[in-house]
Amino acid sequence: MREHGGNLDVARQRFGGAADDWIDLSTGINRVPYPLVDVEPRQWSALPSRSDLESLHDAARQAYVTKAPIVAMGGAQAAIQLLPHLALKGRARILAPTYNEYAAVLSAAGWDVAEVSDLAALAGADIAVVVNPNNPDGRRHDRRELLALLPRVGRLVIDESFADAVPDLSLAPEAGRAGLLILRSFGKFYGLAGLRLGFAIGSEADVAALAARAGPWPVSGAAIAIGRRALLDHDWAKATAARLADDCVRLDAIARSQGWTLLGGTLLFRLYQTGDALAAQEKLARAQIWSRVFQQKPGWLRLGLPGSEPEWSRLSAVLPV
């Protein structure tokens, strides 16, 4: 199994406790989720209609400020699984280090995969992948630089799973151009990862190909109803981005008090150089706070943001300022 955050089974096996005892800061999922709304019984009992799905697509276009073709999927991961089928096998180049599913999925499908460290090295790829902002280091790329790369690759995939709080970074308004494919995650910013909702935005040909492979009912009726309402709630999104920005300052101050160095991050997670991440993870885990470490980077510790004052108090008790 590839390393991912959210692996509370590992935490519980090593340190005990029930799932509800833990504060899971090992992911980049907002711990103050969008308030759940009542879902009509029809959304549970009937197959989603085409008009239901189109209403969700319209809400996503508004939220992401785009007029391009769009398809809802079972999370951004569902779109990643289908990427190898958008073109004949060829060369895939991935700007790394980044989310590890891209290399794994493309390699398993027989693509020639290489990870590169700068944008220029993506040139010539049949599929080039950039996560913007990046996971886990939060690296950001200027929209103009990314668009300049578009004619130099067969297909440019921009994963914007962490872009909701920084909309000016998004290339979604430019989607629709041949060869440009934007992936968006709903569950991270809106804190509803269990809903399994995401979107692919791109050219008519790419979106049609993804939709055909995803099938006639790619997401549930409940996901449509909840996702549509949340995506149209611009006041909630604006207030949430402001709160997350303040919380990042608060978490960074706690980390500095421990002698940790900020390496980067987004408004949903922070990445620190701790010197010994396993020791830091264990210290937190003994208070049933779970974090993310990286096998290839023994000093790196990634922390999400606590979602309530009791959670902040538990964290501060382990890492006193």
pLDDT at 1: 59
**Residue 234: Cβ within 10 Å count:** 10
Question: Are 222 and 39 in contact, with CB atoms under 8 Å apart?
Answer: yes
Q: Which amino acid is at 208?
A: A
Residues whose CB is less than 8 angstroms from the CB of residue 286 and which lie 6 or more positions away in sequence, other chains included? 15, 318
Domain ranges of the chain: 8-33+235-318, 41-232
Q: Tokens 């830091």 label which residue?
A: 280
Question: Are 162 and 266 in contact, with CB atoms under 8 Å apart?
Answer: yes
What topology does CATH give the domain 41-232? Aspartate Aminotransferase; domain 2 (3.40.640)
Q: Which amino acid is at 106?
A: L
191: Cα separation from own chain's centroid: 11
Counted residue by residue, the chain has a size of: 321
Residue 128 forms beta bridges with which residues?
A: 93, 156
DSSP 216-253: S--S-HHHHHHHHHHHT-HHHHHHHHHHHHHHHHHHHH
First-to-last CA distance in the chain? 36
pLDDT at 2: 78
Return per-residue pLDDT of the chain as tens, 321 residues: 578 899 999 999 999 999 999 999 999 999 999 999 889 999 999 999 999 999 999 999 999 999 999 999 999 999 999 999 999 999 999 999 999 999 999 999 999 999 999 999 999 999 999 999 999 999 999 999 999 999 999 999 999 999 999 999 999 999 999 999 999 999 999 999 999 999 999 999 999 999 999 999 999 999 999 999 999 999 999 999 999 999 999 999 999 999 999 999 999 999 999 999 999 999 999 999 999 999 999 999 999 999 999 999 999 999 998
What ranges make up the beta strands (E) of the chain? 23-24, 70-73, 91-95, 112-116, 127-131, 156-159, 180-185, 198-201, 261-265, 269-273, 289-290, 292-294, 297-304
Q: For 8-33+235-318, which CATH superfamily applies? A: Aspartate Aminotransferase, domain 1 (3.90.1150.10)
Distance CA(79)–CA(97), nearest Å, equals 20
